[in-house]
Amino acid sequence: MLTPTTVSIQVKPLCPLFGTCGGCQYQDLPYEEELARKETILKDLIVKELSLPEDIFEAITPSPESYYYRNRLDLTLRKRNNGERQMGFMLPGTQRLQEVTNCSIARKEINDFLVVLKEEAVRKLPEDYKVANLVVRVGDEGKVFWGGIGRRSLRMEEKDYFWTIVHGRKIFYALDTFFQANLSILEKIVSRIESLIQWEKDTVFLDLYSGVGLFGIALADRAKEVVMIEECRDSVTLAQFNVNYHQLENIKMLVGKVETYLPAILKELDGKPCVALIDPPRGGLASSAIETLGAAKSLESLFYLSCSPESLARDLKHLAKVGWKVRKIMPFDFFPRTRHLEVLIWLARS
């Protein structure tokens, strides 16, 4: 998480709740200024902290859409003691709920649906329930679905799966799977990864923490073989659906923890040129996974995609100790108007 230092009000925030709901930090700045501040904060955290040369830091890639980009909102529905129903965001660090009827960073289709969502959710909320956590999502086709009340309410039928097109391929995802929140920037990051390395005829691409298979599927044609490791079964179900949909025969999928499977996979691939993308959750990598990555001599390049610069800095220090050197730092603004930032790191053997 990146915390802005000084904030001088220069533009009128689009959202009347800016400063109250806690979701956005930068609506009062021109977008260029927000990007410059994010770069400075990231440089302090990674470049200075790790004593890296400035010239490996690439300019931040802006989001093609700086408002109305989020394809997912998480909302709380609450029944108060006086019977009133509220739907909105819990204010950080409090028990207070901010009623929300519009969110300037959520996709327009989601905003258009919020009134209906509240009506439907209130109707569905059982009498004895006081609180429900709602998830509402949309894909490129513009259909909105929601869930969060009742068992299996996040399950979707295959015909309803959301999708977005990346690198010419439809990538399907669902209400119950992780998927990147900003679809507009995905093509840029996939293309950047693709362009940085020399893909040989026998390159094996390891998509670690693969979710529904976004990166492995988008880049499947570049590799001889793709190996995905993902622990969430619902995501693996979607990854399998994606593989079947595209009739890809060079993808192997492992269900479980990266730190459990990685040692055996790397041993099996010993001698073959391998490239790995690691895209862990906010907490970063398990120490055992870093040790394994250090020992894997057939791994030629490593990409680390992180949504948490703090855990990234910690892991990069550890990766340096086991023989990995940072070659490029590439910030991507996946979350305009908020303090969050996605960073792609390219590492090579030192």
Ligand X SMILES: C[S@@+](CC[C@H](N)C(=O)[O-])C[C@H]1O[C@@H](n2cnc3c(N)ncnc32)[C@H](O)[C@@H]1O
Q: Which is nearer to ligand X, 58 or 231 (CB)?
A: 231
Residue whose C-alpha is closest to residue 309's, from 53, 24, 30, 60: 60
- Give the other-Cβ count within 10 Å of 232's Cβ: 17
Under the binding rule (CB under 6 A), the answer on residue 257 touching ligand X is: yes
CA distances from 116 to 97, 112, 144, 231 (A): 19, 8, 11, 34
Q: Which DSSP letter does residue 175 get?
A: T
Number of residues forming the site for ligand X (CB under 6 A):
20
Choose, by CB under 6 A, the member of 225, 231, 300, 310 that binds ligand X.
231
330: enclosing H helix or E strand: strand 324-332
Tell me how far, at minimum, the Cβ of 209 lies from ligand X, in Å: 3
The footprint of ligand X on residues 260-319 (CB under 6 A) is: 279-281
Q: Which stretch binds ligand X (CB under 6 A): 46-54, 190-198, 208-216, 218-226?
A: 208-216
Residues in a beta bridge with 207? 228, 277
Under the binding rule (CB under 6 A), the answer on residue 210 touching ligand X is: yes
Cα(216)–Cα(320) distance, integer angstroms: 26
Under the binding rule (CB under 6 A), the answer on residue 332 touching ligand X is: no
Q: Which stretch binds ligand X (CB under 6 A): 22-30, 41-49, 144-152, 230-238?
A: 230-238
Cα(295)–Cα(263) distance, integer angstroms: 9
Under the binding rule (CB under 6 A), the answer on residue 334 touching ligand X is: no
Cα(305)–Cα(258) distance, integer angstroms: 15
Tell me how far, at minimum, the Cβ of 228 lies from ligand X, in Å: 9
Q: Which stretch binds ligand X (CB under 6 A): 75-83, 197-205, 231-239, 332-340?
A: 231-239
Tell me how far, at minimum, the Cβ of 294 lies from ligand X, in Å: 17
Q: Strand 274-278 and strand 299-306: pairing?
A: parallel
Which stretches of the chain bind ligand X, using CB under 6 A? 178-180, 209-212, 214-215, 229-232, 235, 257-259, 279-281
